[in-house]
Amino acid sequence: MITPEILQQLAQSHGTPLFVIDHDEIRNNYRTFKQHLPRVQAYYAVKANPDPAIVRTLFDVGASFDVASMPEFNLVYEIIRDMPVKERQDWIWDKIIYANPIKANESLMELDKYKPLVTFDNLEEIIKIRQYAPNAGLALRIRVPNTGAMVELSSKFGAGPGEAVDLILEADKAGLTVEGLSFHVGSQTTNFDNFVQAINLAANIYSEALKRGYNKMNLLDIGGGFPAPYDQTVKPFSKLAQKINIELDRLFPPDIEILAEPGRFMVATAGISVAKIIGKATRDGKLCYYIDDGVYHTFSGIIFDHCQYHLESFKTGPTQICTVFGPTCDALDVISMSEELPSNLEIGDLLYSKNIGAYSGASSTWFNGFPPAKVIHLNR
């Protein structure tokens, strides 16, 4: 366990800002996922945090990978490249899904030699895949409810249930093999019924495809959306898993391969930010702290992920509602307008933020000349 004392020692040794990654926590999250969803193979969504050390840790414990760009694919490939060629090829075929439904022609051409599993959700994508990656296996992504998700995805991706089988048959007519279905209930989904509805929709499409003569599907990708425990309002993962297991066992026979794309769930709780107060002011009667990390760096999830991270102090004292700003000159660089912190903090004091491992440092920039936080890996 990474204690406040350890975080302070790291800040003293390495300076700030710091982004601390606990690999024991990553391994624990993977074990939890497999324990509660034993039928589901976890394909880590690399975009959640593409740090190579994280990918390596998950590879070592048995994870597969969901990639959505060629740089992400190549990141995973670097880890498996020492395998014998045949073993490497078989591993890619079985353990990587390219889960971006819209792919550039250039990406498809690069992917084709690996014979990967790729998602699609429209007729134009079938035409592209047939021309540029005819050796790929396909999974049709269907549109499902995203109600209550922190990040909604259904307006951007997914074939409507009414057109799903038509697309499967069009792909088959083009000489491609649709191996199964995929869906995504939205990122950080706390409405567990989204999964129930999506699994039922997928089962109905499977049934319709069989009635219309297509019997080549043998997998279901239940996507991501597994919520991280950011606060007490998030129900335990075991409760979600129970609902998923009931529906999978009821609707899909044991020979159907089930996979999922957990990203946030694997890494959110494994990341901790440590920052230093570099300025202090009172504006319109409200105490404001300025720290050396912000929304252009580790706290970028506030902008891109619609996530709010809370800050804690190593010092104690009377608290009040404060504003916390990042270090840049941009007015957008606001971490929180209502953070309860001690009022006696001074320049040079440290703050930390837990559960910041997903969709945070992955979007760091060098905006305004400020560098991203230094990444520290513990328990590798």
Task: Tell whether 186 and 40 lie within a shared domain.
Answer: yes
Tally of domains in the chain: 2
Q: Show which of 235, 267, 299 is a domain's final residue.
A: 267
Radius of gyration of the chain (CA): 22
How high is the pLDDT of residue 136? 97
CB 210 within 8 A of CB 204: no
pLDDT at 364: 84
DSSP bridge pairs for 286: 283
Same domain, 290 and 263: no
Of 31-45, 80-94, 164-178, the one with minimum mean pLDDT is: 80-94
Q: Same structural domain for residues 276 and 341?
A: yes
380: pLDDT confidence band, cut at 50, 70 and 90?
very high
288 counts as catalytic? no
Q: Is 71 exposed, middle or buried, given 0-12, 13-18 or 19+ CB atoms closer than 10 A? A: exposed
**70 shares a domain with 11:** no
Q: Is the pLDDT of residue 88 over 90?
A: yes
**Domain with 289 in it: what CATH number?**
2.40.37.10
Which of the listed residues 267, 290, 308 is the one where a domain comes to its end?
267
Place 146 in a pLDDT band, splitting at 50, 70 and 90: confident
Same domain, 329 and 234: no
CA 359 to chain centre: 7
What are the structure tokens assigned to 146, written together? 């995203």
Over residues 223-251, mean pLDDT: 96
- Predicted confidence band of residue 147 (pLDDT cuts 50, 70, 90): confident
Q: Which of 288, 307, 322, 329 is catalytic?
A: 329
Task: Give the pLDDT confidence score for residue 149 in this predicted structure.
Answer: 67
Question: Residues 354-365: pLDDT tens digits?
Answer: 999 999 977 788
Instruction: Please list the residues that pair with 340 across neighbouring strands.
Output: 321
Domain match, 242 and 291 both:
no
Specify the CATH number for the domain of residue 141.
3.20.20.10
Average pLDDT over residues 246-265: 98
Residue 1 pLDDT exceeds 90: no
Domain boundary among 267, 295, 322: 267
Residue 64 has pLDDT above 90, yes or no: yes
Regarding whether 192 and 139 lie in a shared domain, the answer is yes
94, amino acid identity: D
What percent of the chain has a predicted confidence (pLDDT) above 90? Answer: 91
Q: What is the residue range of 182's domain? A: 23-267
Tell me: pLDDT of 107 over 70.
Answer: yes
303-322 average pLDDT score: 95
User: Is residue 278 located within the same domain as residue 371?
Assistant: yes
Quick one: pLDDT band at residue 352, thresholds 50, 70, 90? very high
d(CA 173, CA 108) in angstroms, rounded, equals 20
Residue 114: C-alpha distances to residues 42, 91, 130, 138, 152 (Å)? 20, 10, 15, 13, 31
User: Per-residue pLDDT averaged across 115-143, rounded?
Assistant: 97
pLDDT at 361: 74
Domain identity same for 257 and 291 = no
pLDDT, the chain, mean: 95
Residues 229 and 313 in one domain: no
Same domain, yes or no, for 214 and 299? no
- Among 92, 171, 157, 164, smallest CA distance to 128 is for 171
**Is the Cβ–Cβ distance between 290 and 256 less than 8 Å?**
no
Instruction: Verify that 330 and 222 share a domain, yes or no.
Output: no
Hey, which residues does 288 pair with through a beta bridge? 281, 323
